[in-house]
Amino acid sequence: MGFFDFLRETPRYEGRPERVDRLDSRHRFLVEPYANELAGARVLDLAAHDGRWAYAMSAAGASFVHAVEPEEDNAAGFAHFPAGPVKDRVRMRVGDVLDLLALEVEAGRRYDVVTVLGLLHRTAEHARMLSLVHALSPRLVIVDAAVLPREAPMIRLSEEPARRAGLEVGPPTVVVGVPSASALELLARTLGYDVTWCDLDRLPAEERVGLDDYFRPAGARVRRSCALRPATA
């Protein structure tokens, strides 16, 4: 059984087992390796979609998870998750990610863990976003994003429908940027973070279900995951 099996009977996932299988595959490297750091932690989950990762982090032992999602339709899916203590520890909030992030900073709030899953390649404000995250003083930032196959630090800009972006904006389209891995490392380093990339090559073949975008051939845009932690002297 996978962690997300409970989703198979919910309206968003019913009849779409491949989506649940993909979530279970990603749970192995987005949640399980950080169990010790999630235990008792206050977590901020940015662009939380229907709260699936917030729910998973609560189940992993987080004491509180603040889930921020720009689209009300996505956030509404959380209502179908199982009731109980795990769900009770999650607060779902709808609004512009950067605006709400800035409000958390202005309020002087602190989080032990911040998750940025599937969001960095759907914004053009990478530096601002990570600077605001840094201001929350997390000891761990979990990032999962598409990155470019470039050695040089760069961000490739393109236009994308606003509804697919991780920010709530007025125009029908927005400019988003896909960073190279080295660009993400540079941004992190300027904020005093060390970056540890997840070694997905260790995943056996049977645990790679639905993860084709993480295992594309060399030279292609690929999805990668990493952990940012304050650099040690």
In eight-state DSSP terms, residue 89 is T
DSSP H helix total and E strand total for the chain: 8, 9
Distance of alpha carbon 149 from alpha carbon 203, whole angstroms = 21
For every one of its 233 residues, what pLDDT tens digit does the chain have, with 9 covering 90 and above? 799 999 999 999 999 999 999 999 999 999 999 999 999 999 999 999 999 999 999 999 999 999 999 999 999 999 999 999 999 999 999 999 999 999 999 999 999 999 999 999 999 999 999 999 999 999 999 999 999 988 899 999 999 876 654 444 456 788 999 999 999 999 999 999 999 999 998 888 888 989 999 999 988 899 999 999 999 85
Tokens of 41: 């932690």
Give the class (CATH, top level) of 3-230: alpha beta
Helix boundaries (H) for the chain: 17-30, 35-38, 52-59, 72-75, 85-88, 97-106, 126-135, 181-190
Distance of alpha carbon 67 from alpha carbon 171, whole angstroms = 24
Q: How far is CA 137 from CA 141, 149, 183, in A?
A: 10, 30, 22
Supply the pTM of this predicted model.
Answer: 0.94
Torsion of CA 111, 112, 117, 122, to 10 degrees: 40
Distance of alpha carbon 54 from alpha carbon 205, whole angstroms = 27
